[in-house]
């Protein structure tokens, strides 16, 4: 029998069981619990894990879009992963995460689409370079900024744009930069990269310096690294950056970039977030 103490908390959260091809059962875990439900990044990672476990998988992840249609509650869930179109080098997926509702009927809480592909060698260039910053050893690990268990799952070392110290409407930027890695340390892979793409606190809290109610509605992550580049990154720190472009009529966007310590861009993401006064 496997000793549960040897399983990394992220791998425990990704422990999906195949009920039939393309249908997987899992359950929420306390290690990635947010204030009223699981951390959105871990839900996105579970959706991607269902794709990666599918026997018909072609290639590696290129993009993942997760739409949070409703609350994911504590307990068991079912993910359905359907490869709706497979071409010679690309594959397109539709996914749902369902849970039993109050009356026992299954209710969709999350939907997603994904695209996987066989990568090939081509010309390439990085137009967005990693910002110049001192290494992670020059910064202290931040204390959890609010009461949520998932914050303890990461070693976050703010470089700039840290959590506001006072809530006085005096914010003037939405840009945050930090070094981050899993706790305990864990070699990087696609599911952990998907989760890390959502680890930033809401941009409106920084830009406005006011903690208003928020909720991510949809997040898209683009994977720029292949398996070999993720393996070379290992369990080292990532440099992560996020900012917003527009706050209006109850929604704001958030863009993010993640590089490894060698300056290789691994993933970018964009999300839309609901907020209210």
Do the beta carbons of residue 116 and residue 56 sit within 8 Å? no
Distance CA 64, CA 115 (A): 7
Q: For residues 49 and 102, give the distance between their C-alpha atoms in angstroms, rounded to a whole number.
A: 27
Could you tell me which CATH class the domain 4-117 is placed in?
Answer: mainly beta
Compute the distance between CA of residue 50 and CA of residue 114 in angstroms, rounded to an integer. Answer: 11
Q: Tell me how long the chain is.
A: 277
**What local confidence, expressed as pLDDT, does residue 5 receive?**
60
| Torsion sign over Cα 258, 259, 261, 263 | negative
Q: What's the mean pLDDT in 17-23?
A: 95
CA 216, distance to chain mean position in Å, is: 11
Can you tell me which residue has the tokens 């899993």? Answer: 182
> Using an 8 Å Cβ cutoff, are 160 and 177 in contact?
yes
Q: What is the pLDDT of residue 1?
A: 37
Residues 6 or more apart from 124 whose CB is under 8 A from it?
none
pLDDT of residue 103: 87
Q: Is the peptide bond before 184 cis (omega within 30 degrees of 0)?
A: yes
CATH architecture of the domain covering 136-275: Beta Barrel (2.40)
Write the pLDDT tens digit of every residue in 190-229: 999 999 999 999 999 999 999 999 999 999 999 999 999 9
Quick: pLDDT tens for 149-170: 999 999 999 999 999 989 999 9
Does residue 4 surpass a pLDDT of 90?
no
> One fold for both 4-117 and 136-275?
yes
Q: In terms of C-beta distances under 8 Å and separation of at least 24 residues, what long-range contacts does 173-176 make, across chains too? A: 173/206, 173/207, 173/243, 174/203, 174/204, 174/206, 174/207, 174/242, 174/243, 174/244, 175/206, 175/241, 175/242, 175/243, 176/200, 176/201, 176/203, 176/206, 176/241, 176/242, 176/243
pLDDT of 3 higher than 80: no
Reported confidence tier of residue 2, pLDDT bands at 50, 70, 90: very low
121-129: Cβ within 8 A, 24+ apart: 126/265, 128/257, 128/265, 129/263
Dihedral in degrees, nearest 10, Cα atoms 40, 41, 42, 46: 100
What is the spatial distance between Cα 100 and Cα 192, in angstroms, rounded to a whole number?
27
Residue 74: count other Cβ atoms within 10 Å of its Cβ: 14
The answer to whether residue 131 scores a pLDDT higher than 50 is: yes
Per-residue model confidence as pLDDT tens digits over 243-258: 999 999 999 999 999 9
Alpha carbon distance 134, 115 (integer Å): 35
Given a contact cutoff of 8 angstroms between Cβ atoms, the answer to whether 156 and 229 are in contact is: no
- DSSP strand E in the chain: where? 17-20, 23-27, 60-68, 76-86, 90-100, 106-117, 154-160, 176-182, 214-223, 238-243, 247-248, 251-260, 265-275
Per-domain residue ranges of the chain: 4-117, 136-275
Encode burial over 241-255: b for 16+ CB neighbours within 10 A, e otherwise: bbbbeebeeeebbbe
Helix, coil or strand: residue 8: coil
pTM of the model: 0.95
- Name the pLDDT band for 97 (thresholds 50, 70, 90): very high
pLDDT given for residue 202 in this prediction: 96
């Amino acid at each position: 029998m496997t000793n549960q103490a040897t399983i990394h908390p992220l791998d425990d959260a990704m422990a999906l069981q195949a009920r039939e091809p393309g249908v997987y059962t899992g359950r929420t875990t306390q290690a990635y619990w947010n204030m009223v439900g699981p951390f959105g990044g871990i839900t996105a990672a579970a959706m991607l894990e269902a794709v990666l476990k599918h026997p018909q998988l072609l290639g590696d992840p290129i993009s993942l879009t997760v739409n949070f249609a409703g609350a994911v509650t504590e307990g068991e869930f079912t993910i359905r992963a359907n490869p709706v179109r497979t071409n010679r080098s690309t594959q397109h997926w539709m996914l749902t995460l369902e849970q039993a509702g109050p009356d026992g009927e299954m209710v969709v809480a999350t939907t997603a689409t994904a695209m996987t592909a066989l990568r090939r060698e081509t010309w390439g260039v990085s137009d967005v370079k990693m910002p110049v910053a001192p290494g992670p050893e020059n910064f202290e690990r931040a204390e959890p900024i609010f009461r949520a268990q998932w914050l303890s799952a990461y070693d976050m070392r703010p470089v700039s744009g840290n959590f506001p110290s006072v809530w006085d409407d005096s914010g003037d930027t939405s840009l945050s930069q930090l070094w981050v890695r899993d706790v305990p340390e864990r070699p990087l892979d696609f599911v952990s990269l998907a989760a890390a793409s959502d680890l930033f606190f809401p941009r409106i809290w920084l830009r406005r310096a006011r903690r208003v109610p928020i909720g991510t509605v949809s997040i898209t992550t683009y994977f720029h690294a292949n398996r070999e580049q993720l393996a070379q990154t290992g369990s080292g720190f990532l440099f992560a950056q996020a900012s917003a472009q527009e706050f209006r009529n109850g929604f704001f966007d958030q863009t993010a970039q993640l590089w490894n310590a060698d300056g290789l861009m691994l993933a970018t993401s964009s999300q839309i977030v609901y907020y209210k006064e």
